[in-house]
A and B are shown apart, each in its own frame.
Chain A
């Protein structure tokens, strides 16, 4: 099903990803782990926005919900971390389904505003209830490993990303993915063709929120110090920039966008605030001139190279 260049690219990516932690210094290892975290968040946002066409600006709110729920459960209920993380993911699934359910009549900007408001309310509650959450001073979360090296975190993050990509990728090529896209393009036409619009809209929201919760739980038990900023609009802006710059209508492009942007964030650290200006500008330029994303654009160029050209007569691969 995959074309030869795509298979080659995946194999190369796997080798690079596995070798990465053993060749870089601890600083860039941390960057790598954060990049994998953002890739996870961006991939789950892309499922909801790029494939299911439901505009949510509340995704970092779900990441924060997963992170705080897992950290709080580990502290106050003394749950082991994996169990706390599972409970947090379940909570995000349920809340995601609830939000998806009550927002069934909303679309486009209404849904975007509603989810933005949800995330902001959550952030304000976390900041205000500082007796439980530590407020803006931060919350000390239990960490997953206690060794001196961060390589185990990297491997866990890589495993989670691989699992997420496999699960979401399978979903996208399955009938569910077809239903998601049908609803995105035209809800009435999809309903008329027998797609259960209500079920699949709620499902897309719940699944995407569940993966956001997974990312959040990992983040909490890796970073060790949670602040409400993780659910802020600026963090959401970064994720949106990652997805759009990579290509918000393809899972792999969005993930590569996240990795590239996070690497740039660190490489350009000396430029401070200018980085966010740069990503804002890149986001605007990408939207204006290359709506499928810069990586999708680059991929098109790569596929045109001689030697990688598809044999004549084969169909365009489904994305």
Chain B
């Protein structure tokens, strides 16, 4: 039994890394644009399909395929941001928060249904990145999961370095603190918004591509991770990238242990989806600033 629990905890850690990618993307978007992206799960879904087609149609090996999927998700996000989000930065727009919620919700409807037409409603599974499994005693962990966790961690490290060290990362940080002051020191804030939305989209897209061989791809695959990412972002404190990574790992592990310990296995699997939602509701009620939180900020 304890071996089973350990395996579940490890699985949870792997999924936690994937959650961390999605949630970090949501956080980057939130801290710069000050909107909650309700279409984030759909960008994750698109990333999964980008990865699938890059591998099956172009025959690109797994690791570059994940990077190409991220680039495509980046490009898609740039297009969406340029076409639809510019009223968020205009002083003439009333109630920008409402605008952000409704427009990103609309994008999610559009992408989900376009995906059903383009890719079909049935689940697709890309070929395994790395067949076989890691077996140590009674622990079994498929190499796909190990690969996903490894690449995921590498991407997260890359993100943290980009945000902390690069000139663009610092520009993003400046815009997130004060758009006007950033503009005064010569930062192109319009470009910073596009970059933040696209970096967030690329992270979600990478997560989707990594998850493909583990779970199958389907047009509605973004719905649950979307709400899970919200739970994580709130738990980690809206706007804190490090906080959301820690919260993602916590949620991944506790969710898998919840399934493992639930008395009735079929119900447990079904209620696993509700687990993160209940966590989300509880955190919003009890500690809305999250574990390491900052105050909520709105677009000026």
Q: Which of A116, A120, A280 interacts with B274 by CB under 8 Å? A: A120
Q: Does A211 contact B (CB under 8 A)?
A: no
- Minimum CB–CB distance from A294 to chain B (whole Å) comes to 14
Residues 24 to 73 of chain B near chain A (Cβ within 8 Å): 35-36, 38
Check A287/B113 contact, CB under 8 A, given A117-B280, A237-B105.
no
Residues 82 to 136 of chain B near chain A (Cβ within 8 Å): 83-84, 87, 94-95, 97-103, 105-110, 112-114, 116-117
Check A113/B230 contact, CB under 8 A, given A108-B98, A120-B274, A288-B103.
yes
Q: CA separation between A9 and B18, bound complex, in Å?
A: 55
Q: Does B284 contact A (CB under 8 A)?
A: yes
Q: Does A190 contact B (CB under 8 A)?
A: no
Chain A 232-249, CB-CB to B under 8 Å as 1, else 0, gives: 011001001100100000
Q: Which of A107, A233, A284 interacts with B106 by CB under 8 Å? A: A284
Q: CA separation between A102 and B285, bound complex, in Å?
A: 7
Determine whether the beta carbon of A287 is less than 8 Å from that of B106. yes
Q: Does A110 contact B (CB under 8 A)?
A: yes
CB contacts (< 8 Å) of B98 on chain A: these are 53, 55, 108
Determine whether the beta carbon of B103 is less than 8 Å from that of A284. yes
Determine whether the beta carbon of B113 is less than 8 Å from that of A273. yes
Check A128/B280 contact, CB under 8 A, given A105-B288, A109-B100, A280-B113.
no
Residues 91 to 106 of chain A near chain B (Cβ within 8 Å): 102, 105-106
Determine whether the beta carbon of B35 is less than 8 Å from that of A244. no
Chain B CB count within 10 A is highest, among A109, A120, A273, A281, for: A109
Q: CA separation between A281 and B116, bound complex, in Å?
A: 15
Residues 124 to 139 of chain A near chain B (Cβ within 8 Å): 124-125, 127-128
Determine whether the beta carbon of A109 is less than 8 Å from that of B109. no
Chain A 272-294, CB-CB to B under 8 Å as 1, else 0, gives: 01101101110110011001000
Determine whether the beta carbon of A109 is less than 8 Å from that of B35. yes
Q: Does A112 contact B (CB under 8 A)?
A: yes
Determine whether the beta carbon of A237 is less than 8 Å from that of B109. yes
Determine whether the beta carbon of A288 is less than 8 Å from that of B110. no
Q: CA separation between A57 and B98, bound complex, in Å?
A: 12
Determine whether the beta carbon of A114 is less than 8 Å from that of B101. no
Chain B 288-300, CB-CB to A under 8 Å as 1, else 0, gives: 1000000010100
Q: CA separation between A234 and B223, bound complex, in Å?
A: 10
Check A112/B101 contact, CB under 8 A, given A124-B270, A233-B223.
yes
Q: Does A118 contact B (CB under 8 A)?
A: yes
Residues 266 to 286 of chain B near chain A (Cβ within 8 Å): 267, 270-271, 273-274, 277-278, 280-281, 284-285
Chain A 60-100, CB-CB to B under 8 Å as 1, else 0, gives: 00000000000000000000000000000000000000000
Q: CA separation between A121 and B277, bound complex, in Å?
A: 7
Q: Which of B99, B114, B281 interacts with A287 by CB under 8 Å? A: B99
Closest residue of B by beta carbon distance from A283 = B106
Determine whether the beta carbon of A287 is less than 8 Å from that of B103. yes
Determine whether the beta carbon of B97 is less than 8 Å from that of A277. no
- Minimum CB–CB distance from B240 to chain A (whole Å) comes to 16
Q: Which of A113, A118, A241, A277 interacts with B117 by CB under 8 Å? A: A277
CB contacts (< 8 Å) of B230 on chain A: these are 113, 117
- Minimum CB–CB distance from A126 to chain B (whole Å) comes to 11
CB contacts (< 8 Å) of B270 on chain A: these are 124, 127-128
CB contacts (< 8 Å) of B83 on chain A: these are 288
Q: Which of A110, A121, A283 interacts with B284 by CB under 8 Å? A: A110
Main SS class of interface, A = helix
CB contacts (< 8 Å) of A234 on chain B: these are 109, 112
Closest residue of A by beta carbon distance from B100 = A109
Determine whether the beta carbon of B117 is less than 8 Å from that of A273. yes
CB contacts (< 8 Å) of A127 on chain B: these are 270
Determine whether the beta carbon of A117 is less than 8 Å from that of B227. yes
Q: CA separation between A280 and B110, bound complex, in Å?
A: 5
Check A128/B223 contact, CB under 8 A, given A244-B102, A276-B113, A280-B113.
no
CB contacts (< 8 Å) of B87 on chain A: these are 288
Determine whether the beta carbon of A121 is less than 8 Å from that of B113. no
Chain A CB count within 10 A is highest, among B234, B280, B288, for: B280
Determine whether the beta carbon of A277 is less than 8 Å from that of B102. no
Determine whether the beta carbon of A117 is less than 8 Å from that of B277. yes
Q: Which of A108, A114, A120, A283 interacts with B109 by CB under 8 Å? A: A283
Q: Which of A110, A112, A283 interacts with B288 by CB under 8 Å? A: A110
CB contacts (< 8 Å) of B106 on chain A: these are 240-241, 244, 280, 283-284, 287
B residues near A, CB below 8 A?
35-36, 38, 83-84, 87, 94-95, 97-103, 105-110, 112-114, 116-117, 223, 227, 230-231, 234, 267, 270-271, 273-274, 277-278, 280-281, 284-285, 288, 296, 298
Known: A110-B284, A114-B280, A120-B227. 12 other contacts (CB 8 A): A53-B98, A109-B35, A109-B97, A109-B101, A113-B227, A117-B227, A117-B230, A117-B280, A124-B273, A283-B110, A288-B87, A288-B103
Question: 6 tightest CB-CB pairs across the interface, nearest first?
Answer: A280-B110, A109-B36, A280-B109, A276-B113, A108-B97, A283-B106
User: Could you list some 22 contacts between A and B, CB below 8 A?
Assistant: A109-B35, A109-B36, A109-B97, A110-B234, A110-B296, A114-B280, A117-B230, A120-B227, A124-B277, A127-B270, A233-B223, A273-B116, A273-B117, A277-B110, A277-B113, A277-B117, A280-B107, A280-B109, A281-B110, A283-B106, A283-B110, A287-B106
